[in-house]
Structures are given as structure tokens and as C-alpha cells.
Amino acid sequence: MRNYIQWKTQKITYYWKTNGFIGTFTIIKRVVLTKLILHINCVSRPLQLKKRESNFREILNQFSHTKSQFRVTLLVSTFLDIDGIKFFQGGAERYIVELNKLIKEMGGNLEVYQCGASNWQKNIHGVDVFGMHTGGINLGELNRVFHQWVEPGDITIYFQMLLSSPRCNHPSICISHGIDWDAHWLQSNAIQYKKIIKQVIRSIANVSKVISVDTNTINWIRATNSKLSEKCIYIPNFVDTREFTDKPKQNEKFIILYPRRLSEARGFWLVQKNISLLIQKYPQIQIHFCGKAEPFEENEVIRLCGEFPLNVKWYDMAPDRMADVYQSSDIVVIPTCYSEGTSLSLLEAMACKKPVIATNVGGLSDLILPGFNGIQIEPVSEDLLAAIYLLIENPNIRDYLAINAFNSVQVFDKSIWENKWQMIIASIIPHKIKK
């Protein structure tokens, strides 16, 4: 204690000499106020949490529960944004929409719970969504309030690995959308990386079953803890082959399509590095970016559109218009760098009979037979450029890959995905399923 007082006295003396009375007083006031605010927050937090819970229960009581044979609760970080306004309409969101339809057809009802800036309830695309006041995106807090505020369903689905830990309902299913701890920025922090791996293992151990969209994740679990891999069931992503199908191209432009979120993980920068080289060699081509963008990528794609207004296009499209986008293209690139499962974009492109180029990351290797139904590359810009050159200059190879892509993707039809999910649900709650 004496050493602490001496250290504080020395600091105050130093501040006095360097900043004078007013400067020293200002610093001391700032420190005292900060400590006071922290103390007030600590004291008032239990009251805040109780108030949030009470408010959420009021919303839940006002919600008109559909009469059904069984109830499924699904926990996800975000389906809408944290204010309950913006729908992201990505692959994960479309998965939930289709799962909701399937559960309703089986006589059940799905409720989706997510992080919220406040408590709220919305219905979008037929899905009942509840925002839980977690103060923003906070997976730990989401896990806590969900298990404390919400009565468990007949089945609980954890839509992300880390959401089923530390608390977990039973019976439960965790859906793995691919390994998402292979990012270079995560692995660069050894302590944080080990912590994530422990959380992943704990999350898998907690649930009854793990539905994995790719075999890459299952093999990782098997290599890490073979006992846990016995919980895993492989159900790859799907494509509606009635909606996404082969139709004649309606334009004469040669279009290279990047049909996904503009981000580092999805390979935006691999394409970006090659744009000037491609346009220099093939001035007639167009490169289309279709999808929402992260902030840095948004600035760059706007710059590219300005530098190459005749060659580079950027737009976003609603899911029910994406078939037209694929059908207007000549080559589709899926250059994922990390965090990938069995890409919906890749499946949709194949169903539209397009030649595809994909990296060998995550679950993409479950979809591509190299040289047969697509070109598989390492996640480096030089390989991507070489593959694009090959397809531009060889229409026979494009046709060969496109035909095989179209034929092979039929085994990923949505009806097969639906049948597998129905069997899983029926096996968990057979007494609840109508005959």
C-alpha cells in the first residue's frame, strides 16, 4: 500500500511540474470521473439487465404464437441488423428462410433470436425474428440472455459454432457453415487463436448433433477429437434447380462475374489485383461485382468503376433476381481466401451452366472436381489470372466445364437438402411429427 501511495504521489508531482495546477487538476478530475462512472455502471448494471429482461418479456407476451405441433428456437448473431431494420439477404439468411419453410411444412414453428441494440420483434419473409438487447454484437451476452430469457424449444438450433457455449439447451443442433477460424488475422494472435479453438471444441461437445455444410469441418473435428466427430452429419448447401437453370444468354458482352460480398475473405482483392492486366489484354471484357461491400472494398470498387467505366460494374441484386445475373455471364469466379463452406454462389453458377473458377478453400473442394466441372486454384492472384486467361481463350473448355457443372450440381438440389433435414428433425422429436 505504501509503495502504491508513493507511486501515485510521484505521478502527481510530475504532472504538477509539467502541467501546472490547472493541468494537474484536469487530469485528476478526468481519472476520478472515469472511476466514478465505472462504479456507477457496475452498481446499476443488475438493474439495467433486469429492466431489459422485463421489456423483452413484454414483447414476447404480446407476440402471437402460431399454434403448431412443435417449436424450434434458432440462435444467430444477426439475421437483421441490430436495429431490426436491414435484411442482409446473404447465403446464411436464405438458409434460415428455407429452413423456416421446411419446419412449417412439417407442422412446426421457428423463432429466430439475435443480437439487438434494443429489444424488438419483426417478421420478414415469414420468419419471426426477436432482437435481444445485448448492447450490440456480443456473442457471450447473447448466449446468456437467450438461455435466461427464452423458454427452450422442442429443438434449439445454434446457427454458429460459438453460440452453444457456455450455456446450451437440449436437444440441440449446431450448424457449421464451414471453418471460420482459418483467417490469417486470427491465427496471428496465438493466445486468441487457442482460446477460439477451445471454445469451438466446447461448443461441439455441448450440442446433441452438428450439421456441417462441408466435409472439411468434419475432418478437422475428426483429426482434433474423433469422439466428437460422431455427432457430425454432412448436409451440404443447396440450390433450387428450378429457379437456377440453363437459359440462353441475352447479351453479347463477355462478362466475368464475381457474385458475392466484396470482402477480403471472399477474395475481392485477388480479383482486384488482376483487373488492369485483364482489361489491358482483353479491352472488350467486363468484370461485374455483384454484392454488398465492406468499407475498404467499397472505396476500392468505386475507384475501379471510375477508372474503368466501360469495363468494371458494381451492383447488388435481390436473391430472386440472381438467376438473371448468372445467366448473363460467361465466367464465374469464387476466389475465397478463408471462412468458406459449400458456397451457394458456386452452386447457383453451376446450376446456370456456367464455367466456374474456385479456390481450394473450405468446402469448395466438396463441389469442384478439378478439370471436370470447374477449375480449382490456390488462393493467389497469379493462379486466378492464369485460369481466367485459359477460359477466355478456350471456348471449348468453357463449354466442357459448364456442361459437367450443370450435370453434377443436380445432386445438390434443394429437395435433397429438405429431405435430409426432415429426417434429422423427425429423429430428434418423432413424437411431435405428424404422420
3 pLDDT tier (thresholds 50, 70, 90): very low
Q: How far apart are CA 88 and CA 348, in angstroms?
A: 18
CB 151 within 8 A of CB 113: no
Q: What integer best gives the mean pLDDT of the chain?
A: 90
**Beta-strand (E) ranges in 259-396?**
285-290, 312-315, 331-334, 356-359, 375-377
Which runs of E-coded beta strand occur in 103-159? Answer: 108-116, 120-124, 127-133, 155-158
Q: Per the CATH hierarchy, to which homologous superfamily does domain 254-412 belong?
A: Glycogen Phosphorylase B; (3.40.50.2000)
Mean pLDDT across the stretch 376-388?
98
Please tell me if the domain spanning 68-234 has the same topology as the one spanning 254-412: yes
8-state DSSP, 150: S
- What integer pLDDT is reported at residue 239 of this predicted model? 97
At residue 4, the pLDDT reads 39
pLDDT of 363 above 80: yes
DSSP string, 185-210: HHHTSHHHHHHHHHHHHHHHHHSSEE
Please give the pLDDT value at position 250: 83
Letter for the amino acid at 211? I
Q: Of 275, 302, 297, 273, which is closest to residue 286 (Cα–Cα)?
A: 275
pTM of the model: 0.85
Q: Give the model's pLDDT for residue 16.
A: 57
Domains of the chain by residue range: 68-234, 254-412
User: Would you say domain 68-234 falls under CATH 3.40.50.2000?
Assistant: yes
Element counts in the chain: helices (H) and strands (E): 14, 14
**Is it the case that residue 107 has pLDDT exceeding 70?**
yes
Cell 475473405 locates to: 265
Tell me the pLDDT band of 305, cut-offs 50, 70 and 90: very high
Weakest mean pLDDT among 31-35, 360-364, 379-383? 31-35
| Model pLDDT, residue 7 | 44
pLDDT of residue 28: 64
Per-residue pLDDT, averaged over 363-389, amounts to 98
Predicted confidence at residue 320, as pLDDT, reads 87
Q: What is the pLDDT of residues 163-207, one digit of tens each?
A: 999 999 999 999 999 999 999 988 998 998 999 999 999 999 999
Please check the confidence at residue 316 and state whether its pLDDT lies above 70: yes
SS3 of residue 55 by DSSP: helix
Q: What is the pLDDT of residue 49?
A: 80
Task: Give the model's pLDDT for residue 1.
Answer: 42
